[in-house]
Chains A and B, each alone.
Chain A
Amino acid sequence: KQEVTQIPAALSVPEGENLVLNCSFTDSAIYNLQWFRQDPGKGLTSLLLIQSSQREQTSGRLNASLDKSSGRSTLYIAASQPGDSATYLCAVRQAAGNKLTFGGGTRVLVKP
């Protein structure tokens, strides 16, 4: 059974610092991995999707890496802003199956 873990559970940084969010998964036979952002009282917003054959994806200040063999992904957010405050979730899809398995999330607070 796939298990996804995100460390730390919460993170507080001053504005301008780079953020590093970690995601680990136990079963490396994944199809893809997706990072989401969740704001309080709202749904999930997809940030980046990395296929199992890829090692990283970039979008603006966001960069996500994937090391499938070691079961890890890292989301980097450069030059953090107060608007980046949210909960960040990673989710993996298995090579066989339809569902996403989510981590517990990292709650980020960027202080002005």
Chain B
Amino acid sequence: GAGVSQSPSNKVTEKGKDVELRCDPISGHTALYWYRQRLGQGLEFLIYFQGNSAPDKSGLPSDRFSAERTGESVSTLTIQRTQQEDSAVYLCASSLNHGVTQYFGPGTRLLVL
């Protein structure tokens, strides 16, 4: 079946603007994760959703970052007042349940000028 999809695939924005990134998980996957990969660095966990439980936001780097998920479907990651250091690839992953294999989307490449 279809894998995890993300949109847009690329986004260029000006410093100070807000951006919204979208993730469509694999159908039926209850868990959804957002990660960030900055150039030359490893992947950093941002946020985790599991069903209707309160999300784990422990990885969000600042209050400019927020994410929502509608039930067990689409998730959006919003970055307000973008800064140049927000430039990165933002990856979304989903899994059937907590603790099993995570399947990643292709990522959104964000460039803040």
Contact = CB atoms under 8 A, between A and B. Distances in A.
Interface stretch (A12-20, A42-50, A65-73, A76-84): A42-50
Nearest to A4: B42
A43 B100 contact: no
A36 B37 CA distance: 14
Interface in A18-74: 31-32, 34, 36, 42-46, 49
B48 A99 contact: yes
Interface stretch (B12-20, B61-69, B72-80, B104-112): B104-112
A93 B58 CA distance: 15
A99 B104 contact: no
A76 B48 CA distance: 31
Contacts of A91: 43
B42 A100 contact: no
B43 A43 contact: no
Given A98-B98, A99-B56, A99-B58, A89 B48 contact: no
Interface of A is mostly: strand
A42 B4 CA distance: 12
Interface residues of B, number: 26
B101 A43 contact: no
Interface size bucket, A side?
20 to 34
Contacts of B56: 97-99
Given A32-B99, A93-B99, A104-B42, A43 B107 contact: yes
Contact of A99 (B33, B100, B103, B105): B33
A104 B41 CA distance: 7
Closest 5 CB pairs of A and B: A99-B45, A44-B104, A102-B43, A98-B48, A43-B104
Interface of B: 4, 31, 33, 35, 41-45, 48, 50, 56, 58-59, 91, 93, 98-107
24 contacts: A32-B99, A34-B101, A34-B102, A36-B104, A42-B107, A43-B105, A44-B91, A45-B104, A46-B102, A46-B103, A89-B42, A93-B99, A97-B56, A98-B56, A99-B33, A99-B48, A99-B56, A99-B58, A100-B35, A100-B102, A101-B45, A102-B43, A103-B42, A104-B41
